[in-house]
A and B are shown apart, each in its own frame.
Chain A
Amino acid sequence: MSTNMTIHLRYWRQSGPTAKGYFEDRTLSNVNEHMSFLEMLDVLNEELQLEGKDPVEFDYDCREGICGSCNLVINGQAHGPKKGTACCQLHMRNYFDGDHITIEPPRASAFPVIKDLVVDRSAFDRIIEAGGYVSVKTGSAQEANARPIPKNDADLAFDYAACIGCGACVAACPNASASLFTSAKISHLSHLPQGDVERNNRVVAMVEQMEEEGFGDCSNFGECEAVCPKEISIAAIADMRRDYVRAVL
């Protein structure tokens, strides 16, 4: 039989973007070990509502670790303790009866809080908007197999393309840098012949947009790679810097 645990929660409350935030504490006494972390928050919210209180807002959608909506910082770690795992795929069996868990939104000036644990990550959209694409119109594509792509290149491009845009890299970085997110898209496209054409313009436009959004610079802490739910390598950041220097010189 599955076991129930008592978990002491401390979570961030903030009623709006300009309101002052604070921590609220609450103990849950019926946390099943098979619950996902977000299901535990669902239970918390059911309890709060039955007492006529406002539920805690947090972002989620697929709950399969692929949409990138969830982005909780759990006991100081983006997505919590499990490596290569988004917090929607984190299960309570990774915790012990009586544990204390603190839940915060990702802290970055480029990700302003909307409410409680929900933040505005539209800066990521604007970075992609600046150049994270191949400029090909619908209907103008050539036959798909006309251009062979070495398997290794395609596989490497995929590794970078796996980014889910959750923002854990920003949350984990002491500089709140979006370098891993930005460079993952740059590396995905530059490893493919289709993306190589616009390589120079892309890297300049995306890096400049990243700075404009208020993200910090990379100082090689490597925290981003450690928390990335898709385990994207910081080799992408090195590629991005090299490309950027080459493009501007």
Chain B
Amino acid sequence: MISLNAKIPEGPIEQKWSRHKKEMKLVAPNNRRKYEVIIVGTGLAGGAAAASMAEMGYKVKSFCIQDSARRAHSIAAQGGINAAKNYPNDGDSVWRLFYDTIKGGDYRSREANVYRLAEVSNSIIDQAVAQGVPFAREYSGLLANRSFGGAQVSRTFYARGQTGQQLLLGAYQAMMRQVELGGIEYYTRHEMLEVVIIDGKARGIITRDLVTGEICRHEADAVILATGGYGNVFYLSTNAKNSNVTASWRAHKKGAMFANPSFVQVHPTCIPVSGDYQSKLTLMSESLRNDGRVWVPRKKGEDRHPNDIPEDERFYYLEEKYPSFGNLVPRDVASRNAKVVCDQGLGVGETGLAVYLDFRDAIARDGKDVIAAKYGNLFDMYANIAGEDPYSQPMRIFPAVHYTMGGLWVDYNLMTNISGLFAAGEANFSDHGANRLGASALMQGLCDGYFVLPSTIGNYLADVEPGTSYGTDHLAFESAAKQAQDSIDRLLNINGKRTIIDFHRTLGRIVWDKIGISRTKKGLEEAIADIRSLRDEFWTNVYVPGEKNNYNKYLEFAGRVADFFELAELMAMDALDRDESCGCHLREEFQTEEGEAIRNDEEFNYVSAWEFKDRNGVLEEELHKELLNFEFVELKQRSYK
């Protein structure tokens, strides 16, 4: 039995992190170079951690699957990054940012972690500015802020619609400086396939060189996984095509617990699917809902052009159901209702999986110029992708999977239950509970990478004998390397008839239909059965092209899809266990007549942490519960009426 100890420091919430920093052990500067740290992933969390630890003097080995660290998926984040600077003098504070984040997460995150996140948020902005990140500024030359969902203050810093790109380039450049200075050994186009555990401690990883196919062994004193989220289990998501769960999942199968796997954020305003060939979905800022009206035709099978449908035949379902919030209901409610009307057959477009977002009335009221000034770039993006002019006809939108709040279970030090194995950024579960607020993902990645891990890793390494080495021919490396090689060989030898993408797309449909926006006991049980039978077929009928000793992207995908199959089953198990509705997780059995979530704090105020047991046909996992103790915040039911 694994025990879950979150290791939350004692004391008042405002003092926990500073007290912990004071009490943690340190590694002296002259000793740091004797420790090697592996960091997998070069997004905001991994890139920031690699740069910061190399600056401190640790020997860092950094790995990414892309051809450059600069391409990690953090680059695609658009909106901004929150911080409690209170520059607009509108009453913001560390406490308020903390409170908004806890409440936004529907009271399913850990108070102490979230408070620390809010506390270091300001240092992130300082650091980024010092690196030359070109944040938006006022004519005074001072930093500009804007407001975002779930907050009554303006605390979001941004760099046009490319905040993630600019923050990532800041971390990347800091990393490259350390590569030049010799502090970082830099491996691109390398995929982590196994973590190596010796005497209960993470001591290295097995990677595949994606260019030569070579299986490589890397030893270190600690391993950090900053490998992002698993939204691509849905096949279609706003994630980059190479984003995957493999590093986390392989660590999970070696004993690291996976927390809250069913907590997945679905974003309501994305450009809808246009056909089977669709490979990914593109997000458009939810700010569009400030002026756009969401509707579908009242009549099933409506085939008129939207502009020809008279007012009384339009179903403005959000305005009708939620008269006070209307089109501005929170993300989860908007997403859920779009699915409901499409399930009723009222959806629009060729696939019937879209709703209209109409600016006709806003343009009539404010004029086209005003609307263009507010949303011009989004309208252009829409026109380019959808091939329709949103000024003269309604946009079609549909929800899409965007972010995964679940991830590897970590304690306050961001260490998993395996000693020496850490997880950061979207790869861990710790800060967003059952729902993430906008502009908080960038904040968390950089918080973990710049400010948390560089401190907590020292606390861990101080107890590791410097210069410890077992050698990469140790039995644990041998068996992990063999495991990695065997699974590749197995995939290549199936030689079946269906393509990897075909399987992935089919899996994605199951996960979307039954473990997506809303869930039922029956649906989840069906999902588990469907996933198992599709997975069985995958292992007997998938076709994996090419060779193992060469660049072979489809072989990479095959391994990732195999892991998604197992994760999908765990997501269903997790959603099935949670007999309540909270945040993103709506179980239809647990809602009011108006469709509002009913949270059950008596029975479900915990983090679900799953321990892998076995997979012989079926996935066997044991549930551990980390009870959430709210000492400083009072639990309340969210309401949008």
Contact = CB atoms under 8 A, between A and B. Distances in A.
Interface of A: 1-2, 15-16, 32-36, 38-40, 42-43, 45-46, 48-50, 52-55, 57, 59-64, 66-69, 85, 89, 91, 93, 114-115, 118, 120-122, 124-125, 128-130, 132-145, 148-151, 154-155, 157-158, 161-162, 164-165, 188-189, 192, 194-195
17 contacts: A15-B550, A35-B275, A36-B385, A43-B277, A46-B502, A55-B553, A57-B553, A61-B242, A63-B240, A122-B68, A134-B130, A145-B87, A148-B140, A148-B141, A158-B159, A161-B166, A195-B132
Contact of B66 (A40, A50, A69, A188): A69
A34 B276 CA distance: 11
Contact of A114 (B140, B450, B551): B551
Contact of A151 (B137, B172, B186, B211): B137
A124 B139 CA distance: 34
Interface stretch (B70-78, B105-113, B407-415, B486-494): B70-78
B594 interface: no
A85 B384 CA distance: 10
Interface string B122-135: 11011111111011
A54 B55 CA distance: 44
B128 to A, nearest CB: 8
Contacts of B516: none
Contact of B545 (A55, A188, A195): A55
Contact of B554 (A49, A64, A68, A69): A49
A1 B350 contact: yes
Contacts of A135: 177
Contacts of B176: 125, 128-129, 132-133
Contact of B138 (A33, A57, A151): A151
Contacts of B141: 148-151, 154
B262 to A, nearest CB: 26
A144 B350 contact: no
Contacts of B418: none
B505 to A, nearest CB: 10
B280 interface: yes
A61 B240 contact: yes
B385 A91 contact: yes
B611 to A, nearest CB: 32
A36 B274 CA distance: 11
Q: Indicate the member of A60, A136, A165 with the most B CB atoms within 10 Å.
A: A136
Interface in B51-72: 51-52, 55, 66-71
Contact of B55 (A50, A89, A138): A138
A138 B552 CA distance: 38
A164 B70 CA distance: 9
A67 B73 contact: yes
Given A34-B387, A154-B137, A55 B174 contact: no
B364 interface: no
B551 A194 contact: no
Given A2-B275, A93-B387, A132 B137 contact: no
A209 B126 CA distance: 30
Contacts, number: 223
Given A39-B278, A53-B545, A136-B130, 17 more contacts: A15-B550, A32-B275, A49-B545, A55-B545, A64-B76, A64-B280, A122-B188, A128-B70, A128-B173, A129-B176, A133-B174, A134-B173, A135-B177, A138-B127, A148-B140, A158-B159, A165-B68
Contact of B160 (A36, A158, A189): A158
A149 B138 CA distance: 9
Contacts of B131: 133-134, 136, 141, 194
Given A42-B279, A67-B240, A129-B179, A124 B174 contact: no
B129 A141 contact: yes
Contacts of A32: 274-275, 277
B48 interface: yes
A89 B546 CA distance: 28
Contacts of B51: 138
Contacts of A46: 499, 501-502
Contact of B173 (A36, A66, A133, A145): A133
Given A55-B554, A151-B141, A38 B130 contact: no
Nearest to A230: B162
Contacts of B575: none
Contacts of A161: 132, 134, 159, 166, 169
B132 A192 contact: yes
Contact of A129 (B123, B177, B550): B177
B637 to A, nearest CB: 37
Nearest to B68: A125
A62 B277 contact: no
B67 A144 contact: no
A33 B134 contact: no
B119 to A, nearest CB: 14
Contacts of B160: 158
A188 B134 contact: yes
B280 A63 contact: yes
Per CB-CB distance, the 9 closest pairs between chain A and chain B, nearest first, are A148-B141, A141-B130, A133-B173, A138-B52, A158-B134, A141-B126, A115-B551, A144-B129, A34-B274
A144 B128 CA distance: 8
A69 B67 contact: yes
A164 B143 CA distance: 24
B282 interface: yes
Given A120-B67, A121-B67, A148-B140, A130 B126 contact: no
Interface in B141-162: 141-143, 159-160, 162
Given A141-B127, A151-B141, A157 B501 contact: no
B67 to A, nearest CB: 6
A52 B544 CA distance: 9
Contacts of B165: 66, 162, 164
Contacts of A68: 70-71
A35 B385 CA distance: 9
B79 interface: no
A138 B137 contact: no
Nearest to A162: B162
A188 B545 CA distance: 43
B374 interface: no
A143 B543 CA distance: 56
Interface in B521-537: none
A142 B385 contact: no
A7 to B, nearest CB: 13
Given A93-B387, A144-B85, A188 B132 contact: yes
